[in-house]
Amino acid sequence: MSKGMNGYHGVILDIDLTSGKINRKPVPVEDTAKFVGGRGLGMKILWDRLKTPGIDALSPENPLMFMPGPLSGFPVPASCRTCVVTKSPRTSAIASEYPQASTVSYSNMGGFFGPEIRFAGYDGMVITGKASSPVYVLIDDDKAEVRDAKKFWGMGTDEFDRKFIEELGDRRFRTCYIGPAGENLVSYACIINTAARAAGRGGTGCVMGSKNLKAIAVRGTKMPDVADHKQFLDFLEQAREGFKGTDFTKGWRYGGTARALAWSSGRGSQAVRNFREGTFADIDKIGDEAARQKTWIRDFACYCCPLSCKKSGAVKTVSHTGLAHDGPEYETGTMFGANLLVSDLGGLMKEISSGDDYGLDIISTGNVIGFLMENYEKGNIDRTFLDGIDLTWGNVDAVLKMIDKIARRDGVGDMASKGVKLLAEKIGSDSDKFAMHVKGHELAAWNVHVDPGMGISYVSSNRGACHLNGRTLEEQNSNAMIDSTGVCLFADYGFGEMGLQNLLTAVTGIEWTKEEYAKAGERIFNLERMFNFREGFRREDDTLPDRFFAEPLTVGPGQGAVLDRGEFTKMLDEYYEKRGWDPKTSKPTKAKLQNLGLSFTIET
């Protein structure tokens, strides 16, 4: 540990797959103080590494980063996250001068991987270059090497998860990997760990595939030091107490995110029928109560997490009986269920397990398939276009065939693997009006008609449409910080008002007041925005699909709900105003950047 780096090792592991060189690089104290870790520190490194805009996200130069935070590895409740940061292969701008312009991408995964990176003695991992043939990276404390992975290429994530651990010979190794989708460069391929947890969004698995990198394994024995040991133990005790026996904790354990399936449908905010509706009549067939009875086996928690939102499952008593996989969550249950009008729980489980096994982002995949279903229904495409698949609503077999085609980029799957934005260009017939994306990144499982705040979350997110971005600027800054600490967003509330700030203070020795904490979040968010701006993204890229302004919901409690374009534009104007951004271009003002300590982003 470098002096003055409490809470950090002060070391980033730098791996160049082209040359095979592995280096330990120091992290400047100034950067950890300003950008914290995780999403923030990853963003700073991305900015530093990509000096010129417009590089191809799938080129060897694009760094793929695995970033835990300063609380990762300490037994703080839910301090389990790893933020994967890279330049996005998913997004594109309306009028950038760079043909390969894209936004930042960050995607956060739970499990045990991030803490283990810290146990191995690093604050993060930066991978650049491209291996000449499939490889995996093995990190065992100070030892790190690149190894041949040819025999694993093509293997689904579930089988790989088991085979890889066998090869490594110790279950203490923590691993993450891509499936065939990532290998085949499906733009929305994800990175998987523990056979079901994912850095799902933003095409991180596609970038990993472009580097010929199948997997990473890490194991370690160390821990960074903290600034105030005694204070840390006190705050840790408080944090643990704060989660104990509360309704908040009980709720997560009881239903995970799947609780939201019925709840969201009940208020008209679910993605149903390619976002045409907000309520799914058959939601009870796939909601958490049905899932609990027919698929859930046990609760599964990430590192030191008291919430256990993940439900290990196996299908009992419905179709596909015997299939062992995680039960539906809100996102997977909606995007592969409600959004496609799939009400067969066993079939839904099969879709989810297939999506995870291929290593696909189920949100984007469900969105793409919903888009194709709608075009098929409307007659914009025919069965020939779909390689003979009868892609009707609710047809599980057809969905499974499409998943397969997308992951292998076979026939129609090749086009579909690029996402709805490019599909709409190909299909024409005004289908862009219901191509549900922002900047090329597909919308997630939350519908907008009854919830304009979610519309703000989608359009103002720096990675393209994102439901976790936050409805207000305060929420967005806070979420950017959470993603930078290594703690899970779902657990945030459980820490109470000052819990995380206090822990960060004890760990880093920097006084993290409420104000400084919020400001660091704002700094990170603005740096992302500056990256996007430099790529050529402007206000007109912050736009919702037409559907929300043109087609009111026709069923459910939200019936009649539709967005008013004028009002939404006003909301967005106010948002830029409050952010200190030019409402015309969405560019952060000079004063704002200086105030946040981002002067280095102002071109001279």
Near another protein by CB under 8 A: residue from 14, 123, 161, 541: 161
Binding flag, residue 299, another protein (CB under 8 A) = yes
Q: Which helix (H) or strand (E) holds 508?
A: helix 499-508
- Say if strands 310-313 and 437-438 run parallel, antiparallel, or are unpaired: unpaired
Q: In the bound complex, what is the minimum distance in angstroms from residue 216's beta carbon to another protein?
A: 17
For Cα atoms 162, 168, 171, give the angle at the middle one, nearest 5 degrees.
65
Nearer Cβ to another protein (303/458): 303
Nearer Cβ to another protein (19/321): 321
Q: Considering only residues 175-204, where is the footprint of another protein by CB under 8 A? A: 194-195
Near another protein by CB under 8 A: residue from 308, 543, 595, 601: 308
| Cβ-based burial of 3 (10 A; exposed 0-12, middle 13-18, buried ≥19) | exposed
User: Residue 476 and residue 583: Cα distance in Å, rounded?
Assistant: 18
Report the candidate in 91, 396, 442 with the shortest Cα–Cα distance to residue 275.
Answer: 442
Q: Which stretch binds another protein (CB under 8 A): 319-327, 393-401, 414-422, 552-560?
A: 319-327
Binding flag, residue 222, another protein (CB under 8 A) = yes
Q: Considering only residues 456-495, where is the footprint of another protein by CB under 8 A? A: none
Instruction: State the number of binding residues for another protein (CB under 8 A).
Output: 48
User: Does residue 85 contact residue 43 with C-beta atoms inside 8 Å?
Assistant: yes
Q: Which stretch binds another protein (CB under 8 A): 88-96, 155-163, 418-426, 487-495?
A: 155-163
Near another protein by CB under 8 A: residue from 55, 101, 302, 436: 302
Q: How far is CA 600 from the centre of its chain?
A: 28
Binding flag, residue 301, another protein (CB under 8 A) = yes
Torsion sign (Cα): 30, 33, 34, 39: positive
CA-to-CA dists, residue 302 to 171, 198, 312, 590, angstroms: 16, 12, 12, 41
Tokens 């997997």, residue?
Answer: 215
Tokens 């969201």, residue?
Answer: 264
User: Does residue 486 contact residue 72 with C-beta atoms inside 8 Å?
Assistant: yes
Binding flag, residue 324, another protein (CB under 8 A) = yes
Near another protein by CB under 8 A: residue from 223, 281, 400, 571: 223
For Cα atoms 53, 55, 56, give the angle at the middle one, nearest 5 degrees.
145
Q: Considering only residues 325-384, where is the footprint of another protein by CB under 8 A? A: 325-326
Site string for another protein, 21-60 (x = CB under 8 A): ----------------------------------------
Near another protein by CB under 8 A: residue from 322, 511, 566, 603: 322
Q: In the bound complex, what is the minimum distance in angstroms from residue 492's beta carbon to another protein?
A: 17
User: Residue 375 and residue 42: Cα distance in Å, rounded?
Assistant: 39
User: Does residue 102 contact residue 537 with C-beta atoms inside 8 Å?
Assistant: no
Near another protein by CB under 8 A: residue from 1, 29, 304, 400: 304
- Burial code (b: 16+ CB inside 10 Å, e: under 16) for 419-448 equals bbbbbbeebeeebbebbbbbbbbbbbbbbb
Q: Which stretch binds another protein (CB under 8 A): 61-69, 324-332, 387-395, 533-541?
A: 324-332
Q: In the bound complex, what is the minimum distance in angstroms from residue 434's beta carbon to another protein?
A: 35
Q: In the bound complex, what is the minimum distance in angstroms from residue 199's beta carbon to another protein?
A: 18
| Cβ-based burial of 450 (10 A; exposed 0-12, middle 13-18, buried ≥19) | buried
Q: Considering only residues 543-582, where is the footprint of another protein by CB under 8 A? A: none
Q: Which stretch binds another protein (CB under 8 A): 297-305, 462-470, 541-549, 584-592?
A: 297-305
Q: Considering only residues 59-78, where is the footprint of another protein by CB under 8 A? A: 74-75, 77
Q: Which stretch binds another protein (CB under 8 A): 51-59, 313-321, 364-372, 432-440?
A: 313-321
User: Residue 209 and residue 358: Cα distance in Å, rounded?
Assistant: 12
User: Residue 135 and residue 27: Cα distance in Å, rounded?
Assistant: 27
Tokens 């060897």, residue?
Answer: 60
Q: In the bound complex, what is the minimum distance in angstroms from residue 317's beta carbon to another protein?
A: 8
Structure tokens at 492: 């945030």
Q: In the bound complex, what is the minimum distance in angstroms from residue 546's beta carbon to another protein?
A: 42
User: Residue 277 and residue 553: Cα distance in Å, rounded?
Assistant: 5
Q: In the bound complex, what is the minimum distance in angstroms from residue 346's beta carbon to another protein?
A: 10
Binding flag, residue 169, another protein (CB under 8 A) = no
Q: Phi and psi at residue 138, in whole multiples of 5°? A: -115, 125
Near another protein by CB under 8 A: residue from 8, 106, 112, 581: 112
Q: Considering only residues 237-296, where is the footprint of another protein by CB under 8 A? A: 240, 243-244
Crossing angle (nearest 10°) for helices 229-243 and 499-508: 160
Q: Which residues bind another protein (CB under 8 A)?
A: 74-75, 77, 112, 119, 158-159, 161-162, 165, 171, 194-195, 220-223, 225-226, 229-230, 232-233, 240, 243-244, 297-306, 308, 312, 314-316, 320-326
